[in-house]
Amino acid sequence: MKSIFITRQIPENGIKILKEKGYDVTVGKYKTPPTQPELIEELKKKNYDVVVPLLTDKIDSAVFDAVPTVKIFANYSVGFDNIDLEEATKRNIAVTNTPGDYVDGVAEHAVALLLAIMARLAEADQFVRAGKYQGWDPMLFMGDKLNGKTVAVIGTGRIGERFARKLSSGFGVKIIYYDVVRNERIEKECGAQFVSSVNEALALADAVSIHVPLLPTTHHLINKNNLAKMKPTAYLINTSRGPVVDEEALVKALQNGRIRGAGLDVFEFEPKLTKGLVKLSNTVLSPHIASSQLESREEMAEIVANNIIDFFEGRVPRNKVNK
């Protein structure tokens, strides 16, 4: 019987699919992310055939060496920067991800962060709860409206594209975008305008939303130098991966009023936050929950199960990300 280790609890629907196929499924009991040594110790307890890691589990040579029976790492996330892909490929280990329809949820969360920061919702909410509201005041919490603004989408894969569609059709926003490849669909359907560099996108936009994977080439894609090119009235939204933004540079830019605000779902050193970030009222922060809708999390679990089933039934897993 094939045995599968899922590092932490995921929705039951995926586990049920696997059990119905006759696989033996063990779910790690951790409530918070295990350290790599803890994970290795756990994995060594049995000759597992599959590991389902979460994005918080660092999977590299140390893990591959410790569990040589594992031939597929079916990551429970669309991003797979937690796994050393090159090393997995060298060892003929399959790696899969979960690029489902739930990308809509992530795109919606990016829209929510943008609206929340522009309307100063988090600040206003705290103000009301603190009992500070003394009556209507025309000058109170003046924010910005989204309609008519120019929004730059950095990375127009599935999530970036859906974000662009939502903004252009529902909010009267002009979309500009940068990606390493042009996206003719959003040019035609959303009137999106391609710009030739991240710097140009940052300089022209009233708000910038990042939708790139974390790669060596996207690490600190947003940094001190290009934050300096943004309009002082502009906003930055990040729902991709924290290290895409130099968080220290961002904190400084927000402290100095170099940009107006930021909505962040991901953090460079998560779960730790760069010093100064929590004190900033011109931010809206969420704990990496952009795809945390029941439908989305269940879809991810189903995709994980299907990738594993593909593998054991002799097909190339539908979401294999390495060669």
**Is 315 annotated as catalytic?**
no
Cβ nearer to ligand DGY, comparing 78 with 208: 78
Residues 271-300: x where in contact with ligand DGY by CB under 6 A, - otherwise, as a string? --------------------x---------
Count of residues near ligand DGY by CB under 6 A: 5
Count of beta carbons in the 10 Å neighbourhood of residue 1: 7
Binding span for ligand DGY by CB under 6 A among 4-12, 76-84, 113-121, 242-250: 76-84
For residue 55, give the nearest of 214, 260, 275 by alpha carbon: 214
CB of 292 to ligand DGY, least distance (A): 7
Distance CA 92, CA 95 (A): 10
In whole angstroms, the minimum distance from the beta carbon of 102 to ligand DGY comes to 8
Residue 55 is a binding residue for ligand DGY (CB under 6 A) = yes
Minimum CB separation from ligand DGY for residue 289, in Å?
8
Residue 162 CB, shortest distance to ligand DGY, in Å, is: 14
270 is an active site residue: yes
DSSP for residue 144:
-
**219 noted as active-site residue:** no
Q: How far apart are CA 169 and CA 2, in angstroms?
A: 47
Longest Cα separation, the chain: 68
Nearer to ligand DGY, 120 or 297 (CB): 297
Query: Which residues of the chain form beta strands (DSSP E)?
Result: 3-6, 24-27, 50-52, 72-74, 94-96, 150-154, 174-178, 193-194, 207-210, 235-238, 261-264, 283-285
- Shortest separation between residue 164's beta carbon and ligand DGY, angstroms: 19
Please select the residue that binds ligand DGY; options are 10, 25, 77, 152, rule is CB under 6 A.
77
72 strand-pairing partners: 50, 94
Angle of CA points 104, 110, 114, to nearest 5°: 145
Q: Is 237 in the site for ligand DGY (CB under 6 A)?
A: no
> From residue 142, how far is each of 78, 79, 119, 239, 295 by CA, in Å?
37, 37, 8, 25, 35
Active-site positions read 241, 270, 288
Residues found near ligand DGY in the complex (CB under 6 A): 55, 77-79, 291
